[in-house]
Amino acid sequence: MVPELESATVRILHPERVTGIIRSLKEQGTSKLQVISDFDMTLSRFGCNGRRCPTSHNILNDSRVISEDSKRKLKDLLHYYYPIEIDPNRTLEEKRPLMVEWWSRVHELLSQQSIRKGDIAQIVSESGVMLRDGFKELFDQLHKYNVPLFIFSAGVGDVLEEIIRQANVFYSNINVVSNYMDFDENGVLTRFKGPLIHTYNKNNSVLQGTEYFQELSTRTSIILLGDSMGDLTMADGVPSVENILKIGFLNDKVEERRGKYLGAYDIVLERDETLDVANGILRYILTET
Ligand code: TMP
Ligand code: MG
């Protein structure tokens, strides 16, 4: 059905269930389908050329417009909070206030740096960020078949939009909900707009007023792509889900987190830097025969 599922990076706890969901997604047809995806480390790569690829925040944090002193502070915050974010032994309740702390401190520091709206394109092009292999097929397929792509990100909206734009795949079927920068009349960053989105509040609570999922209420078939345990709630605001397939990228601390990921995601992709599995499933669902 989907040869990509035979890849060595793929782990599935209940193969028959997954086959059943994929069959149903195809039966329901393209007009019922929507894709909901995280951005950082899901659509973008975790590693590239033997190094870590930057997240949308880290593209800013490491850029030339940040003072050396602030760069050091932002790195210290990353080294303190990131292990907490991915710690399999802490509950989400424990992590939530700490993530609010992390994001707030980063946004505060960034807002003191006189970052200019006009600098973002160059900051992105110099950053070394990469989308996962196969991104063009993914974006092109969804656009061709008019399947809405909802990007739900705790990263920085202005930065991730620029990444997609520079990759020439920012099509009309894409909607983004993320943390957006607020600039003054001179185009200088003053603050971030609310509500604050962090790894563990990606649910309906930050979508109030967007009406996005209500407008797509007939799209009851969902493919969800994420890399964090916080991404599992991204579709909670969809009014009536009939079939949902959750695909999770397990990038880091693979052995420690495997059990939790297998229990939560239908398909787990271990150290897989490609979108091949998602593309294979979409090819099967979207094309005739
Ligand atoms: P998301 O991928 O769930 O949207 O979350 C964004 C990621 O960004 C999350 O894994 C933490 C990471 N991050 C940084 O790399 N640097 C930062 O300064 C902050 C606040 C978050
Ligand atoms: Mg992510």
Structural domains present in the chain: 3-47+127-286 (3.40.50.1000)
Spans of the chain below 50 pLDDT: none
Cα dihedral 237→266→257→96 (10° resolution): 0
Q: Is there an atom of ligand 1 within 6 Å of 233 CB?
A: no
Q: How far is the CA of 207 from the centre of ligand 1 (A)?
A: 19
Tell me the best of 38, 40, 102 to mutate to test the pocket of ligand 1, counting ligand atoms within 8 Å of each CB and taking the most: 40
> Each residue of 101-159: pLDDT tens digit?
999 999 999 999 999 999 999 999 999 999 999 999 999 999 999 999 999 999 999 99
Active site residue 38: yes
User: Which contiguous run of DSSP H or E holds residue 81?
Assistant: helix 68-85
- Residue with the nearest Cα to atom 21 of ligand 1? 57
Q: Which of 40, 231, 272, 276 is catalytic?
A: 40
Q: What pLDDT score does 48 carry?
A: 86
Contact (CB, 8 A) for 130 and 48: yes
- Residue with the nearest Cα to atom 18 of ligand 1? 57
d(CA 128, CA 187): 25
Q: How far is the CA of 242 from the centre of ligand 2 (A)?
A: 25
Q: What pLDDT score does 50 carry?
A: 85
Contact (CB, 8 A) for 145 and 30: yes
Tell me the best of 99, 103, 199 to mutate to test the pocket of ligand 1, counting ligand atoms within 8 Å of each CB and taking the most: 199
d(CA 149, CA 169): 12
How far lies 286's CA from each of 147, 148, 216, 257, 279, in Å?
A: 10, 13, 18, 32, 10
Q: Which of 38, 227, 231, 272 is catalytic?
A: 38
Other Cβ atoms less than 10 A from the Cβ of 277: the count is 21
Confidence (pTM): 0.98
Ligand nearest to the CA of 200: 1
Q: What pLDDT score does 49 carry?
A: 80
